[in-house]
């Protein structure tokens, strides 16, 4: 072996890669210098490195779970104004954000009219679950079931929707399901019953779910399973979007001419 290929740094880099410890590889020299100047001993030096690796590994795992959840956009409760929606039980939502309901395989149903923050709440609960180590999958009631046309893709989708620890089905009720779509959703919910958590958002009260599923028998059986262990979130009120747009408009009209231009620009810019 030539002297260059046997230097300890090269071997160390190789072994650390093999062991999948990229953070230690990147940081060991820098941390060694810091520890030397601070007079930190060897066990503590090693501890610092291992802690860095663990932290980054956890961060990467959260990012991977977020990617796999397929959220249309990532939102959290940091940007959610609970005062804007008094009908929503804030204490319950914050308790749910701790994710213990997932361990108990309980469900959540968020009901309310359009624009009241149902999707935002579902996304934020989904994100909280990813951060706490649960596998999550976000889907809309109509969209993906319709996309998976052929048998093979449908089976794959069905398996994915059944396997995750938290399944979010957004916008149940906006579009009536086809008989196959209704059967499929029913089958997925049945499989998940007491095996995993399901979060559904809907603009329709339970009495109208029959119109979505097309069959009273199916809807009854489904509600029976879903509501066995369920937390209901009520979001009734004015549309947040509408309110925000109206208050922007009011501010624009009240403001002096130059700032009015700026405000108007804000309204036109994409969200
Ligand atoms: P829904 O799903 O009930 O129709 P969304 O969750 O899509 O409503 O909310 C519409 C928009 O308003 C989104 O951009 C959302 O982030 C925002 N929004 C709704 N409610 C709130 C709230 N209480 N605080 C902050 N943003 C909100
Ligand atoms: Mg929505």
DSSP annotation string for 22-83? HHHHHHHHHHHHHHHHHT--HHHHHHHHHHHHHHHHHHHHHHHHHHHHT-SS---GGG--GG
Mutate to test the pocket of ligand 1, among 90, 115, 174, 236 (most ligand atoms within 8 A of CB): 115
Mean pLDDT score, 142-162: 76
Has residue 265 got a pLDDT over 60? no
Give the pTM.
0.84
* Minimum CA distance residue for ligand 1 atom 1: 115
* Minimum CA distance residue for ligand 1 atom 10: 115
Contact, 10 vs 4, CB < 8 A? yes
Q: Which ligand is nearest to the CA of 75?
A: 1
Return the pLDDT at 4. Answer: 55
* Minimum CA distance residue for ligand 1 atom 4: 115
Q: What is the mean pLDDT of the chain?
A: 88
Q: Give the three-state DSSP class for 201.
A: strand
189 vs 33: which has the higher pLDDT: 33
Handedness of CA 73, 77, 83, 88 (dihedral sign): positive
Percent above pLDDT 70 for the chain: 89
Return the pLDDT at 270. Answer: 40
Ligand 1: centre distance to CA 154 (Å): 31
Q: Compute the residue count for the chain.
A: 271
Contact, 268 vs 143, CB < 8 A? no
The answer to whether the CB of 236 is under 6 A from ligand 1 is: no
Return the pLDDT at 179. Answer: 83
Contact, 139 vs 229, CB < 8 A? no
Q: What is the CA radius of gyration of the chain?
A: 25
Return the pLDDT at 145. Answer: 63
262 vs 217: which has the higher pLDDT: 217
Model confidence pLDDT, tens digit, residues 93-112 = 999 999 999 999 999 999 99
What residues have CB less than 8 Å from 140, skipping those under 6 apart?
Answer: 169, 170, 171
For residue 110, what is the enclosing H or E element? strand 107-112
The ligand 1 atom at the shortest distance from the C-alpha of residue 171 is 2
Ligand 1: centre distance to CA 91 (Å): 18
The answer to whether the CB of 119 is under 6 A from ligand 1 is: yes
Has residue 263 got a pLDDT over 60? no
Has residue 210 got a pLDDT over 60? yes
Which residues, in sequence order, are bridge partners of residue 111? 202, 234
Mean pLDDT score, 232-255: 85
Ligand 2: centre distance to CA 159 (Å): 25
Return the pLDDT at 271. Answer: 38
Model confidence pLDDT, tens digit, residues 110-135 = 999 999 999 999 999 999 999 999 99
Q: Which ligand is nearest to the CA of 120?
A: 1
The answer to whether the CB of 241 is under 6 A from ligand 1 is: yes
Q: Of the given ranges (53-57, 123-127, 235-239), which has the lowest mean pLDDT?
A: 235-239
Has residue 267 got a pLDDT over 50? no
Alpha carbon of residue 203 to chain centroid = 20
């Amino acid at each position: 072996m030539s002297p260059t290929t046997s230097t300890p740094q090269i071997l160390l880099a190789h072994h650390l890669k093999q062991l999948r410890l990229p953070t230690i590889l990147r940081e060991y020299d820098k941390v060694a210098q810091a520890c030397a100047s601070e007079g930190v001993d060897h066990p503590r030096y090693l501890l610092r490195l291992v802690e860095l690796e663990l932290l980054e590994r956890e961060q990467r795992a959260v990012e991977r779970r977020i990617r796999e959840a397929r959220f249309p956009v990532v939102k959290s409760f940091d940007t959610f104004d609970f005062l804007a929606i008094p009908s929503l039980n804030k204490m319950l939502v914050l308790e749910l954000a701790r994710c213990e309901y997932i361990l108990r395989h309980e469900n959540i149903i968020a009901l309310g009219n359009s624009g009241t923050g149902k999707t935002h709440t579902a996304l934020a609960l989904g994100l909280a679950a990813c951060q706490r180590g649960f596998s999550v999958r976000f889907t809309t009631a109509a969209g993906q079931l319709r996309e998976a046309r052929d048998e093979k893709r449908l089976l794959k989708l069905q398996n994915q929707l059944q396997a995750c620890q938290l399944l979010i089905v957004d916008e149940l009720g906006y579009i009536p399901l086809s008989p196959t779509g209704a059967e499929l959703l029913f089958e997925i919910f049945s499989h998940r019953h007491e095996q995993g958590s399901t979060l559904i958002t809907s603009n329709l009260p339970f009495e109208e779910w029959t119109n979505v599923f097309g069959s009273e028998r199916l809807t009854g059986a489904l509600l029976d399973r879903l509501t066995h262990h369920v937390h209901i979130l009520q979001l009734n009120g004015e549309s947040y979007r509408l309110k925000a747009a109206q208050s922007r408009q009011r501010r624009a009209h009240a403001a002096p001419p130059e700032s009015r231009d700026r405000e108007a620009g804000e309204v036109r810019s994409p969200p």
